[in-house]
Amino acid sequence: MRGSSPRLAEILAPIESPMKRMRQVLRSQLGDESAAVSDMIDHVERFRGKQLRAALVLLAGEATGNTTDEHAAVAAIVEMIHLATRVHDGILDGAEVRRRVACVNERWDNQVAVLLGDFLYARAFALSTELSSRLCSRVLSETTRRICVGEIHQSTSRYDFEMREETYEEISGAKTASLYAAACELGARYPGGNEELGRDLSTMGWSFGLAFQIVDDCLDLTGTEEEVGKSVGTDVEDGKVTLPVLYTYRKADESMRAKIRDIYTRPGLEGRARLLRAECDLEPGLAYAQSRARTLMQEGLSRLARLPLTPARASIEELAGFLLERSF
Amino acid sequence: MRGSSPRLAEILAPIESPMKRMRQVLRSQLGDESAAVSDMIDHVERFRGKQLRAALVLLAGEATGNTTDEHAAVAAIVEMIHLATRVHDGILDGAEVRRRVACVNERWDNQVAVLLGDFLYARAFALSTELSSRLCSRVLSETTRRICVGEIHQSTSRYDFEMREETYEEISGAKTASLYAAACELGARYPGGNEELGRDLSTMGWSFGLAFQIVDDCLDLTGTEEEVGKSVGTDVEDGKVTLPVLYTYRKADESMRAKIRDIYTRPGLEGRARLLRAECDLEPGLAYAQSRARTLMQEGLSRLARLPLTPARASIEELAGFLLERSF
């Protein structure tokens, strides 16, 4: 699944023109810097990804009949925050390739990746303070805090094979779903209207984001770099025990559990995810995770029930299906 | 020079009570988090430093007769942003000790240092969006962007012995003076009043910050870890060509220049700053830098001329002297 997927472009057709404006804002925000900065920015733009979070701001706005001249900027800000987390996540994950472009922290070093991420955060917040309403600054600074807490929690929960499923969802929720929730809430509410609708769309976004993360976790176990377009197997390398592994571990007998722990932890082992696939039957765990993702997406979509049948609402529904399909 | 200096406490006596409130805000902002986060926060608080930037918010407020109930929060936000830059700077500098407490990225790893810095930024911005005026969010997000650009510029200018002095001041200004300027501007103007006075105090803060950075650069060359309370010699290790070295290099003949370049760059060399001191006469460069710092402080203080003679104004003047003295 790539940023340039024709199917995705088709799904997002109702917001083609605001997405273009969003990209213009992004370019203008990141463009007018010194040579040293713009060299790095160029690099980041090439692995910009699917821009799903920006799309959800605009879709949530259109679907709820809440569109303003500032929605494109709000969407660009959400996308910049996402980019910042990805740049810093490059340091976190030890990921080697992202979107087929060498990760920032490989081409330059950790130092520069830290600074570039900080720059993206700062730019995002600076732009948000120029908007007519403070809602965007408020929602996104709180969301950024939540993402950090989720990442810190994840980092301190490595190799925790006894983790409760609720804890897994709490961590994935904070680190991934919270920005989806913020995107949908801002789309529906910005600059300030209809709190109830905002809550509904926020809940939808949360479910979407959590489902997205679960699918991502499955792909990290089963996908190839070629298919997924970024490093795979990094969760096992980094000691992250994701939902399909948690389920597999819970259902396994003690000898299989010992094997799983060994594959995660034995020093110097190469290709841990591949070994895990070869030595353990992950299928039930993967099926369980995918079923959970489907349930979450359905729960999320149920929040649209009160909205009129518009092309934007249809897009959100198709997007949900599209995001789930990529797990197969 | 330590955070607990009795002389500094004496100088800051006129703002003792708002500084206490500032520390309360800081504690409450960083206190109510999960165990994983608060463990790290505890660690950071122990190397909180001199809290000069927070002090300048409060002093600039008092000196201009502009104090509000929110000044303590503004000061805490400025301090959180400073803490965030320090935590990320720990990754940048390869510094081994800061304030006699192991640096975050030593006790934990780079990952956690990145996240903790991000958390501090996010918390700072979240708090700023809760204030009655947007001025704090606006000034500080722009300042943070500027700090990042300065750090990136510095990182791409390593080993540049031909750097113009203006460029050195531009970089040091962006990475250090900009937050001092923001602190003084916000103190004088927050929530929004008197733009002209804000500009005056901002200019004063900029001169202060630049002088502070120049003194810091001298101490990094000449100080001992014992005296300075943090790693020294890291600029030479990291290839940063600071003002005293720039001056020394400019005045040196070609054989001395080659020696300086060699000490900065020869692989595997230990104690580069010590070698530089032993092999080159740095005194004229240090004297030049200190004289520049003094001039800047005087320029900064001249901005106070229009203000009434209050204890806060006297504090700022004494603080300037105190910050310069530490270079000897």
pLDDT tens for chain B, 328 residues long, are 344 688 999 999 999 999 999 999 998 888 766 777 777 777 666 556 889 999 999 999 999 999 999 999 999 999 999 999 988 887 754 443 443 345 455 445 677 788 889 999 999 999 999 999 999 999 999 999 999 999 989 988 999 999 999 999 999 999 999 999 999 999 999 999 889 999 999 999 999 999 999 999 999 999 887 777 777 888 998 899 999 999 999 999 999 999 999 999 998 888 899 999 999 999 999 999 999 999 999 999 999 999 999 999 999 999 999 999 874 4
DSSP three-state, residue B101: strand
pLDDT digits (tens, 9 = 90+) for A152-195: 899 889 999 999 999 999 999 999 999 999 999 999 999 998 89
Q: What pLDDT does B1 receive? A: 39
Note whether A263 and A303 are within 8 A (CB): no
Distance in angstroms (rounded) separating the CA atoms of residues B222 and B326: 12
pLDDT digits (tens, 9 = 90+) for A250-260: 999 999 999 99
Q: What pLDDT does B234 receive? A: 86
Q: What pLDDT does A32 receive? A: 64
Note whether B99 and B49 are within 8 A (CB): yes
With vertex at residue B119, the alpha carbon angle to CA B126 and CA A87, rounded to the nearest 5 degrees, is 110
Distance in angstroms (rounded) separating the CA atoms of residues B238 and B245: 13
- Which of chain A's residues have a Cβ under 8 Å away from the Cβ of B115? 88, 92, 148, 151-152, 155
For residue B97, the cross-strand partners are B102
CB contact under 8 A, A125 and B118: no
> How many angstroms separate the CA of residue A106 from the nearest CA in chain B?
15
Whether residue A175 lies within 8 A of chain B, CB to CB, comes out as no
Whether residue A158 lies within 8 A of chain B, CB to CB, comes out as no
Whether residue B213 lies within 8 A of chain A, CB to CB, comes out as no
pLDDT along chain A (328 residues), means of 10: 72 96 91 72 70 97 96 97 88 44 53 87 95 96 94 90 97 97 98 93 97 95 80 87 97 97 92 93 96 97 95 97 78
Q: How much of chain B exceeds pLDDT 90, in percent?
A: 71
Whether residue B33 lies within 8 A of chain A, CB to CB, comes out as yes
CB contact under 8 A, A34 and B149: yes
Q: What pLDDT does B216 receive? A: 93
- Which of chain B's residues have a Cβ under 8 Å away from the Cβ of A44? none
Phi then psi dihedrals of residue A14, to 5 deg? -60, -20
Length of chain A: 328
Looking at every residue in chain B, the average pLDDT score rounds to: 89
For A212-246, b where at least 16 C-beta lie within 10 A, e where not — what string? Answer: bbbbbbbbbbbbeeeebbbbbbbbbbbebbbbbbb
Distance in angstroms (rounded) separating the CA atoms of residues A181 and A57: 10
Q: What pLDDT does A97 receive? A: 40
Whether residue B82 lies within 8 A of chain A, CB to CB, comes out as no
- Whole-prediction pTM value? 0.90
Note whether A237 and A264 are within 8 A (CB): no
For residue A98, the cross-strand partners are A101, A230
**DSSP per-residue codes, A143-187:** HHHHHHHHHHHHHHTTT-TT--HHHHHHHHIIIIIHHHHHHHHHH
Length of chain B: 328
Q: Identity (one letter) of the amino acid at B36?
A: A
CB contact under 8 A, A34 and B153: yes
For B127-149, b where at least 16 C-beta lie within 10 A, e where not — what string? Answer: bbbebebbbbbbbbbbbbbbbbb
Per-residue 3-state assignment (H helix, E strand, C coil) for A211-266 = HHHHHHHHHHHHCCHHHHCECCCHHHHCCCCCHHHHHHHHHCCHHHHHHHHHHHHC
Helix axes A71-93, A110-130, angle to 10 degrees: 160
Q: What pLDDT does B93 receive? A: 45
CA distances from A208 to A52, A107, A141, A204 (A): 11, 33, 21, 6
Long-range contacts of B90-93 (CB under 8 A, 24+ apart): B91/A110, B91/A111, B91/A114, B92/A111, B92/A114, B92/A115, B92/B151, B92/B155, B92/B238, B93/B231, B93/B234, B93/B238
Nearest to B142 by CA among A328, A250, A123: A123
Q: What pLDDT does A137 receive? A: 96
pLDDT digits (tens, 9 = 90+) for B153-180: 998 899 999 999 999 999 999 999 999 9
Whether residue B155 lies within 8 A of chain A, CB to CB, comes out as yes
pLDDT digits (tens, 9 = 90+) for B111-149: 778 888 999 999 999 999 999 999 999 999 999 999 999
Distance in angstroms (rounded) separating the CA atoms of residues A5 and B236: 49
What's the token pair of residue A79?
Answer: 């996308």
CB contact under 8 A, B129 and A126: no
Whether residue A148 lies within 8 A of chain B, CB to CB, comes out as yes
What's the token pair of residue A9?
Answer: 């472009």
Q: Which superfamily does B6-325 belong to?
A: Farnesyl Diphosphate Synthase (1.10.600.10)
R_g of chain A computed on alpha carbons? 20
DSSP three-state, residue B230: strand
- Pick from A91, A111, A145: CB nearest B155: A111
Residue of A nearest to B35 (CA): A153
What's the token pair of residue A206?
Answer: 């949360």
Whether residue B138 lies within 8 A of chain A, CB to CB, comes out as yes
Most distant CA pair in chain A: distance in Å? 60
Residue of B nearest to A132 (CA): B134
> How many beta carbons lie within 10 A of that of residue B199, not counting itself?
15
Helix residue ranges per DSSP H, A94-109:
104-107
Q: What pLDDT does B104 receive? A: 52
